[in-house]
Amino acid sequence: MEMLTAVAALAISATLGAQIPEQSKWEITFAQVEAAAGLPDLRTAPTGTSEARLMERPWTAFGPVPFLRIVRSGGTLRAQLFLFWNPNHMLPERSTGAGVTCRNGVCVKPVELKEQDDWENVVTSLARRNGCSLPKTNTNTVAVCADCGEIWAKTAVDGNYWEQRCQEPGADTTLGRMLAFMRRAAATAKQP
């Protein structure tokens, strides 16, 4: 019975730990970026939806941070890249201009995505398994890194909704590849 209780507690804590924070006093949330970009809540997406949204955790969002949306349109998955930032941390002229939308302390700008990927494979991978790497060894230590890269992902496929967050994802994982992809794409995009 003790073993069953321990396994249940571990499963509950892992599930809660995988949830993306809805509110924060000190950083921009996924929901704020979605609202500023004019995107609906993915949790209520209709059956038949095939979409993934990925966001580098902003921590402080002093500069533009990448947000990637992969959505089925016309039978094909396509990707849209956005940059977002806190307008209070940037020069005022950066929060105006073509395509820039600012709402509730977040500015968002769509940018041209020059590099492409196998979007079907990315969405399928995120919808069917955890995009984070699993530890190769079981240790009793917990590592925390406040300035490490972290990625958040929301996926809705055929009526199933899934959230993942991953700190320092392995380069061989879907989320690790996507974090590197988003950083490259943001670096080559025209900055707001």
Residue 15 confidence (pLDDT) above 60: no
Residue 137 confidence (pLDDT) above 50: no
Give, for 50, the enclosing helix (H) or strand (E).
Answer: strand 50-56
Residue 34 has pLDDT above 50, yes or no: yes
What is the residue range of 37's domain? 2-188
Using one digit for the tens of pLDDT, what is the confidence trace for 53-101? 999 988 755 678 999 999 997 788 999 999 998 888 766 556 667 788 9
Banded pLDDT at 5 (limits 50, 70, 90):
very low
What rounded mean pLDDT belongs to the chain?
Answer: 79
Q: What is the pLDDT of residue 94?
A: 61
Q: Is the pLDDT of residue 8 over 80?
A: no
Read off the pLDDT of each residue in 142-146 and give the average, rounded to a whole number. 56
Buried b (16+ CB within 10 A) or exposed e, 150-165: bbbbbbbbeeeebbbb
Instruction: Give whole-number Cα distances, 127 to 31, 97, 161, in Å.
Output: 20, 36, 8
Q: How many domains does the chain have?
A: 1
CA separation for the pair 39, 118 (Å, rounded): 23
Say what percent of the chain tops pLDDT 70: 72
Q: What Rg value do the Cα atoms of the chain yield, rounded?
A: 17
